Structure formats: structure tokens, C-alpha cells
A and B are shown apart, each in its own frame.
Chain A
């Protein structure tokens, strides 16, 4: 996967991808607030850990498990490829 200018949905990233949260989609307020409260906020570093059976990622120092629709709503700027060799 090559780095790109536009943010990626968390759900589209493979395990091991590192990046930073750009934004959380605001179509579902409750979800956005819960994610924000858990530290999924713009600028927070993020690492994708697993995709199946649920999406698991580490955001800053918190490990979170979410269902795919939630991962769809998190937008991530991925780091340079060398950082993905994890």
C-alpha cells in the first residue's frame, strides 16, 4: 500500500499499518462522541492490529476492538511505508 494524500478508512487498512487519525465521520453523533472519549481524536497515532473477526487497533496507548461499520467511520493518514514494516 502506498502512502497517499487522502485519508483512508480504517476498515480498508491491513494489519500493521501505522498512521494518524484525521477525523471521525460525524454521521452518527453517538458513535463519534464515544470514539472521541476513547481517545480516537485528530492527531492521535494509530496502529492496525487485526481485521478479523473484528477490527482491533491501538490508538495512542489504548487498544480498541470495533465492528466493521465503526472502522468505516475512522479516517487515517498513513505513515511512510517503511514504518509499516512492523
Chain B
């Protein structure tokens, strides 16, 4: 059926509001990193997190919108490479959406530069017999690379509407809205083996695509080469890490934190809260609950807003830039060999680096890995060693003030420990690793708007997620301190905390906080250090233990969700033992060598 026929069948009702018993269901499907989420945002007005690497969308997002006079439910799906054969979890999810009887329209989004892969998927979509549109996105980039597509010819051949867009700029999106009523069912493409799909796609590519030699994107090629070749790539990596350290560790963790903690909280908010409480709350226990040593405002809010928030925000800003540039997947080239020794492959660099943002989100992203064994090892390593941004905040804040050597000691010990654990897990756990095959997205100059948008969403998420737990933790500490429980815990833990780790006994309370959130515990260490109760070696030992320590509650729940309860509990136990053991050994070594930093 041609597009025109489809239009006649659906009638010329574009301008009227059509009423149905239920909203029209529209699914966006396509290869990874082709811009489905951007188009989703353009169609529904809702923002889904967008990045320049495959695997940003790991769960389906649904949004309701009025499009072309109809109420539509638009479903954004994770990127897929195939719908037949050995499928990943994401691909099963996409299959189920396509098989759902209520689905009215499929919008396949394809990278215009890369229609070969898009068309291979088109060929597999035919089997589902759904009305569809084919959207060729990022035509601007395709043109810059000399790729020209005969859209009219392709549309006539396929019999479904084919549209060109630049979704990030909104170009072509009105046409997509108009075409929503005109989706047509693709004629069967014949036999359904991967080879047939490939041949079918290849024939269409030969027929409808021209590639001219181009010169417009030389900088992209040069930069791409510079970051992936070891001789230039490793210095660039060092530079990137250093700039990150300057932005997050110096500007965020020292300048901003100093400004907000000392300038705002210590000077204005806390004194104001204390004087208000003194005047209006006659009962001492209630007063202490808000403004005491373990007060919700003087401790909980101060930690969350003054110490952790500035670093989280600067981190997400820098991180968003790296994400959108397409740089992060290129790190897989360097790290593949190391990860292979740990039963993973280079692809694992994605969840690991994402873990620096938030281990909970990263735990979910382990789905992009190929086998159950890889997913389990990655979840374990995230829980063990990867500090999230909030925790990084406090690490940089404390150790940045001591010395660079102190910082390197912590990261060295943590990385070494991760490697050892990964190495052993790779041999102890059953199953296989998958082979390293990874797509490198094009390097792009990120859009500031998207970075800011993403940062705002993530900071808001941090506030919604972490602040209540900070308050809960403070409340718990308050109750413990009032009932004498804290003294009891401190005394019970003293042999461990003081004897084994060489820390002051008050650190026990900090580790209790660490059970709720590692960054909360780390923020407690931050305060201890500021109060001069930790020497340099103690700070390094305490932070190393805290970094390796149990994951936060949210991360633990995500581990249960991704791996079920028993493996999650096992990871918890292993991680706790390793954290304390490493801390004890590190303490012995540093003391034995009389290191002072």
C-alpha cells in the first residue's frame, strides 16, 4: 500500500480532534543512539535523558501528548540491534511492545548516515505487520559526511512514509506529526534470516544512497583518532581527569562548598535556625532534633545542601559534557584488556564510569552487558569500589585539602582492590564473558542546553532521593544518641574501628551513617576531619573503607531488582569484609612505613 492510499483510508481528519475509546499507542523503535529519546521529547514535550552513547535509555518511557488532533501515548524504547535471534533483555522488551495488540503505529527512527543498519531493522519490523513510519534522523550529520539519500525513491520502494529530521533542532518534526495518521504496513521482505535482512538492506543502500567524498568533518576525524590512539589518547585521558579534578575537586568541593557551608550555613542559616528554635521550641529534645549535634537542620540539611550538593552539581555538569561528546565509549578501547582479565570486556567501562555519577543508575545500566556473569561482576564492582559523585565530593573535599599523594593512595588502593576482586570473581563464578564488540558514536560538540537540562534533572533527582535519606539518617542518629544506643554502638565497634582501623571511636557513628548512604557517611568524615579529629593517615584509611563499604540503600534495592535478593546479600557481605580488611591492612602499612602525607 502506498502512502497516498493510506492517507485516503485514514481520511482527511488531521484537523479534527478524533475521539477513541483509548489513546493511540505509538512506539518509537530503532538502533541505539539514533535519537529516539530526542524525538520523543519533541513529540511529547517531555524530557527523557539524552546522551551520545548507546544504552542511555534502559527502561521504556511513556508520554501522553495531543498530536495531530489525537490523544497519543508515545512509548520511547531502548535501542536495539535486532528483533530476531539471540536477543538482549532490551530487545525482548521491544518485541513485546511490538506484539502488543493495542499498538497502533511504529515510528522507526534510523540514523540517516547509517541507513544500512536501520533498514536491517526495518526488514525485521515487517514481520510484525504494524503500520509504520521511517524517520531518518540526523540528516545534517549525514550531509556533512557526504551521505545523500533518495528519500522519494526509498519511500516508493518501501511503501511507508519516509521522513527526514534533525530532531535536536526540531527540523522535520512537524512533518512527522502530520504523517502520524498515514503510517502504512510494510510489505513482507521475504525470508527472515539475518543474512536475508542484510542482503535486502544492502540492495536498498546501493540503490538509494550516495556517499560523496567529504571534507567538512576533518576535525572530527582528527580528534577521533587522537583520543583513540594510545600515544595521544592516554595524555588526553590524563588531561580530562585533571580538568575534572579542577572542576569538581577544586572548584566544586573546595570553592563552592566553602562558600555555601561557611558563607551561608555556618553564618546565616544555622544561627538563624538555632535562635528560632531557642525562642519557639521550649522542649530541649525537640530543639535538639532540629538544631542539635545531630540536628535535622544543623547536620542533615548542612550535609546534603552545603557539602554534597555543590559537588554533585558540578560533577553532573562536567559529566554531561563528556557524555554528550561521545568520549566515554572510546575509553573502552584502552580498558578492554584490563576488563577482560576481570571477566568483563571493554564495554563495562560504560557502567563503571556512569557509577561515578550514581551507582544506582549504573547498576541498572549493567543490562547493556552481554552475559549474566558479566552483569553480576559489574554489579559487584560497582558496589565495591566505584564512588558516586556525592561520595567523590567528600573524598575530594577531605583529601584534596591534605595532599595529592593522599588522594592517589586512596584511588590506587580502591582500583587495585577492584582489580583483584574482579580477577578472582572472573575465575570463581560460573558462566562466560562475551566478546568485545562496541560501537563508537561520532564525536560531537555537545549542546549546552541538553547538558544543563540533564544536570537540572539529575540534581533534582539527587535532592529528592538523597535529602530524605540524609534526614532519616540524622533522625536515626539523633534517636541513637538520645537513647544511649550510639554510645553502645561506638563501644561495640571500638575494637574494630580503633583497634583494627586505627580511627577515633567517634568514627563508628560515621560508619552507621554510611550504611544509609556512603556519601552521608563520607560527609560525616568530612566534619570529623574539619574538626581536626582525623590525622592524614586516618582520613585516608577511613575514606578508603567508606569507599569500599556497603552501597547505599537505593543502590542495594537496585541490586536486588537486577540480581535478586541472595546475590545482592552475598555482594553486601563480601563487600563489607573486603572494606574492613583492606582498611586494616592499609592502616598497618601506612603506620609501618611512617607515612604522613
Show the binding face of A for B, using Cβ within 8 Å: 28-39, 41-44, 49-50, 52-54, 56, 60-67, 69-70
B86 touches A54 (CB 8 A): no
Would you call B116 and A53 a contact (CB within 8 A)?
A: no
8 Å CB contact of B202 from A43, A50, A61: A43
User: Do B114 and A39 touch (CB < 8 A)?
Assistant: yes
Tell which of B86, B198, B330, B332 has the most Cβ of chain A within 10 Å: B198
A67 closest partner in B (C-beta): B436
A49 to B222, CA, bound (A): 12
B121 to chain A, nearest CB (A): 8
- The interface on chain B, measured as residues whose beta carbon lies within 8 A of the other chain's beta carbons, has a size of 43
SS class, residues of chain A in contact with chain B: mixed
Whether A67 contacts B116 in the complex (CB less than 8 A), given A33-B82, A54-B336, A54-B346, comes out as no
User: Which of B116, B147, B205, B225 sits near A49, CB closer than 8 Å?
Assistant: B225
Indicate if the CB atoms of A62 and B114 lie closer than 8 Å: yes
| CB pairs A–B below 8 angstroms (14 shown) | A29-B86, A30-B86, A36-B194, A36-B195, A37-B81, A60-B116, A63-B224, A63-B440, A64-B438, A65-B330, A65-B332, A65-B440, A67-B336, A67-B340
Which residue of the partner chain B has the closest CB to A58? B440
Point out the residues of chain B lying under 8 angstroms from A33, CB to CB. Answer: 82, 85-86, 194
Which residues B107-124 have CB closer than 8 A to chain A?
Answer: 111, 113-114, 116-117, 120
A35 contacts across to B, CB distance below 8 A: 437
Q: Are B86 and A62 in contact (CB under 8 A)?
A: no
CB distance from B575 to the nearest CB of A (A): 29
What 0/1 readout, one digit per residue, does chain B (322-360) give for beta carbons within 8 Å of chain A? 000000001011101100100001100000000000000
The interface bits of chain B over 207-232 (1 if a CB of A lies within 8 angstroms of the residue's CB, else 0) are 00000000000000000110011100
Cβ distance A72 to chain B, nearest Cβ, rounded Å:
11
Nearest Cβ on chain A to B43's Cβ, whole angstroms: 26
Chain A residue numbers with a CB within 8 Å of B333 are 50, 53-54, 56, 65
Residues in B lying within 8 Å of A, measured CB to CB: 81-82, 85-86, 111, 113-114, 116-117, 120, 145, 147, 194-195, 197-199, 201-202, 205-206, 224-225, 228-230, 330, 332-334, 336-337, 340, 345-346, 434-440, 442
- Report how far A65 CA is from B345 CA in the complex, Å: 11
A64 touches B440 (CB 8 A): yes
- Which residues of chain B are within 8 angstroms of A36 by Cβ–Cβ distance? 120, 194-195, 197-198
State whether A60 touches B436 (Cβ < 8 A). Answer: no
* Chain A positions within 8 Å of B440 at CB level: 56, 63-65
Given A38-B81, A56-B228: A44 in contact with B116 (beta carbons within 8 A): yes
Sample of 5 further A-B pairs with CB below 8 A, known A33-B194, A67-B435:
A34-B437, A37-B81, A63-B224, A64-B440, A65-B438
Q: Are A69 and B229 in contact (CB under 8 A)?
A: no
> Complex formed: what's the CA distance from A50 to B231 in Å?
12
A42 touches B202 (CB 8 A): yes
* B346 contact set on A, CB distance < 8 A: 54, 65, 67
B92 to chain A, nearest CB (A): 15
Give the distance to chain B from A81, nearest Cβ to Cβ, in Å.
Answer: 18
> B337, A53: Cβ atoms under 8 Å?
yes
CB distance from A23 to the nearest CB of B (A): 10
Cβ of B334 and Cβ of A42 under 8 Å apart? no
Inter-chain contacts of A52 with B (CB < 8 A): 230
B435 in contact with A31 (CB, 8 Å): yes
